[in-house]
Amino acid sequence: MNSQRPLIGTVAPAWLCLAFLSGAHGAEVSTIRGTVSIDRNGIPQVTECNTKRVIPFGTMASAAYFDFTRFYSKISGDGRVATVVEVTGELAQTSSSKGELILTSPRISAYRWGTCESAPSSTDDPIALAELLKDLKRKLDRFRAIPKGQVPYEFDPPLDNLIGATRKDIWEALGRPDVCDSEEGIYFDEEATLENCDNSDEWSYHFCSKEPLMFGGGFGMELAFNWNDKVMFAAWQGYR
């Protein structure tokens, strides 16, 4: 990837080691769209777009929590950039007298930069996805053929329709990523085989000359995958 992963501590917050301080009951599975943040106690929470309710995340396994904080830090710039998520979990009332809500076992399926008003919602549009992938493939082939030292000036299309696409969709349309990044290591170019990249959290395609990036600019398409092997975040990143 163009940048290194944020460093992650080895000690989980105290709240993570507890079932949840006040308990919960009457849970039902719900998908919530809203802005995501982390409060001063290190507890993730989502402010629902429609209701403006602030709903904290309940119990998360350590690995899930660290995955969340890593992606949240990278995508939102440690909370400096407004980020909208779509998160599914069991929505329940706490056992406190206030009847507050928590979202237990949360799983985020999509991240998007922006606010509730500006960030688009997910759509299941296979035709739009297919057209976008064809367009990206044409641009990828053309940009990679550009002579060393030349930088393409054409800006690339919005990537919203990639959210929800599978690894197979991406691989079959665009081929091998230039970089795939996982806990097992970072694989570049020919090393980035489907076997190596199948479990990678992040893929990167370089829309620029195939010469090393240090010699020219261009754009990289950065993709992050969720637990279901589907794209949960897609964005352009400029290279210098």
Residue ending a domain, choose from 59, 80, 113: 113
The answer to whether the beta carbons of residues 197 and 177 sit under 8 Å apart is yes
Same domain, 108 and 162: no
DSSP 181-218: EETTEEEEGGG--HHHHTT-SEEEEEES-SS-GGG---
CB-side exposure of 78: number of CA atoms within 13 Å? 5
Q: Is the domain of 98 the same as that of 132?
A: no
What's the domain range around 195?
126-238
Residue 96 burial class via C-beta count within 10 angstroms: exposed 0-12, middle 13-18, buried 19 and up: exposed
Answer for the pair 219, 208: CB distance below 8 angstroms, yes or no: yes
Same-domain pairing of 149 and 186:
yes
Residues of the chain falling short of pLDDT 70: 1-27, 95-99, 147-156, 182-192, 194, 209-218, 239-240
- Which pLDDT score is estimated for 20? 38
Q: Are 97 and 180 part of one and the same domain?
A: no
Copy the structure tokens of residue 110. 């999509």
Among 91, 113, 135, identify where a domain stops: 113
CA–CA dist 117, 49 (Å, integer): 8
- Cβ atoms of 197 and 170 within 8 Å: the answer is no
pLDDT at 14: 39
* pLDDT value of residue 10: 31
Closest by Cα among 34, 40, 17 to 87: 34
pLDDT recorded at residue 213? 47
Domain count, the chain: 2
Burial label for 205, CB within 10 Å (0-12, 13-18, 19+), is: buried
CA distance 134 to 143: 14
What pLDDT score does 148 carry? 62
Domain boundary among 92, 113, 134: 113
pTM of the model: 0.76
In this structure, the answer to whether residues 31 and 54 fall within a common structural domain is yes
